[in-house]
Amino acid sequence: MKISINRDALLTPLSHVQGLVPGKPPVPIMGNLMLKAESGKIRVYACDLDLDHVELGECQYADTNGGEAATTVNAHIFYNIIRKMPEGAEIEIDGPDAKNHVSIRAGRTHFELPCLSAEDFPVVKEDAEPHQFDVPLHALKQALGCTKFAMSSEETRYYLNGIYIHAKKDGETPVMRFVATDGHRLARTEIPLPEGAVDMPAIIVSRKAITELGKLLDEFDGNEEFSTVHVAISDKRIRFAIGTIATSSKLIDASYPDYERVIPKQNDKTMEVTAEFFRRAVDRVSAVNNTGDVRPVKFTFGKNNLTLSVSASEGNSSEEIDAATEALDFDIGFNPNYLLDLVPHIASGTACFDFSDANSPVIIRDKGNDSMIFVVMPMRV
Going from N- to C-terminal start, the domains of the chain cover 2-120, 132-259, 263-376
Phi, psi torsion values for 188, nearest 5 degrees: -140, 135
- Cβ–Cβ under 8 Å, residues 69 and 36: yes
Cis peptide before 28 (omega within 30 of 0): no
Domain 263-376 superfamily per CATH: DNA Polymerase III, subunit A, domain 2 (3.10.150.10)
Regarding pTM above 0.85, the answer is yes
pLDDT in tens, 127-154: 778 999 999 999 999 999 999 999 999 9
| CATH class entry, domain 132-259 | alpha beta
Q: Do β-strands 32-38 and 41-47 pair in parallel, antiparallel, or remain unpaired?
A: antiparallel
In angstroms, the first-to-last Cα distance of the chain is 67
* pLDDT confidence of residue 346: 95
The band of 271, judged by pLDDT with boundaries at 50, 70 and 90, is: very high
| CATH class entry, domain 2-120 | alpha beta
Same fold, 132-259 and 263-376: yes
| Higher per-residue pLDDT: 359 or 2 | 359
pLDDT in tens, 49-70: 788 999 887 777 666 665 568 8
Q: Do β-strands 228-233 and 185-192 pair in parallel, antiparallel, or remain unpaired?
A: unpaired
Helix (H) or strand (E) holding 232: strand 228-233
